[in-house]
Amino acid sequence: MASITKHKTGYRAQVERRGIRRSKVFPTKRQAQDWAARVEYEILNGDKIAAETTLGEVLDRYAREVSPKKRGERWETIRLAKIRRDPIARVRLRDLAPRHFADWRDRRLKEVAPASVIREMQLISSVLNLARREWGLIGENPLRDVAKPKKPPPRDRLPTEAEIEAMRFSAGEDLTKATARAFHAFLFALETAMRAGEIAGLTWDRVDLDRRVARLTHTKNGRPRDVPLSSEAIRLLQALPPDDPVFGLTPRQLDVLFRKVRDRAGVAGLTFHDSRHAAITRLSKRLDVLALARMVGHSDLRMLQVYYNESAEDLAKRLD
């Protein structure tokens, strides 16, 4: 049976049917009642719903109800829309089998790199797991039995000093121009190992120039962290014209403008994210492993191996 009770933040809807219990809090009583009614219907008619529901409809529901709560909403909704256009989206859940996903995987591998297919498979798996655990639409996740493409080796691309100088000339020195600020953000990333989204979202109220600390409240792993700032990082910040966010760029603008600077400078194969590799490699010479992991936001120390790219030649010099 469904019950609606007052909660400190709104109204709690509780549903118990056929041994299945669901509970959720909503800001209004009407929302709680609507949710409870829908959940009751889904539990009582789960087999009928699953028989007719297509994978595409489940993807749509996930994009509508779940993706907006995530920082990666834009990427997820674009990927889900892409999968929605594939023939696999028309397959009913009752018929969905590993072979369907194996065929989809092989088609995608002809279009994009293995790393992209792996990320999309992880996204679809999240959708199916939710459809199984919370929506009661399937009994098991058929994607679990499908082999993922072999992971490509980690990138080891580091910018050279010559490439940095070429991009500096390409970007220009006028920081009132967005193009110059995009390259300036790349230099800041080389000092801090901050990601492009973290830099674009940085605001002055989260920067303490005296303590030399930048506070990040929205990070990839969802946990806030404090980033220590070198003297050069401080200098880069102080050189910027007054604006808020600090660099006056959206993540999209930063990506597009950095590519423009890079291509105009004749630099091939370099991405903005390669600055993180370069920064971690440089910082490893000054910080111990635990301090470095804390600065860059890695809770798993093994992740540092993915980004640490110091050459054997440089390591040999440190032995003397």
- Of 177, 189, 218, 199, the C-alpha closest to 276 is 189
Q: Which two tokens stand for residue 260?
A: 């423009």
Known catalytic residue at 41? no
How far, in Å, CA of 21 to CA of 23, rounded?
A: 7
Candidate list 79, 108, 181, 298, residue with the active-site label: 298
Known catalytic residue at 62? no
Candidate list 70, 218, 220, 223, residue with the active-site label: 220
- Of 151, 158, 154, 131, the C-alpha closest to 142 is 131
Q: Which helix (H) or strand (E) holds 69?
A: none
| Residue 71: CB atoms within 10 Å | 13
Q: Which two tokens stand for residue 134?
A: 């919370």
Candidate list 108, 195, 276, 277, residue with the active-site label: 195
How far, in Å, CA of 44 to CA of 47, rounded?
A: 8
How far, in Å, CA of 180 to CA of 195, rounded?
A: 18
Three-state SS at 272: coil
Known catalytic residue at 220? yes
Candidate list 62, 184, 277, 307, residue with the active-site label: 307
The owner of tokens 């995009």 is: 182
Q: Are 138 and 124 in contact (CB under 8 A)?
A: no
Q: Which two tokens stand for residue 116?
A: 């992209």
At CA 136, angle to CA 134 and CA 140, rounded to 5? 100
292-311 per-residue burial string, b: 16 or more CB within 10 A, e: under 16: bbbbbbbeeeeeeebbbbee
Please compute Rg for the chain using Cα positions.
24
Active site residues: 195, 220, 298, 307
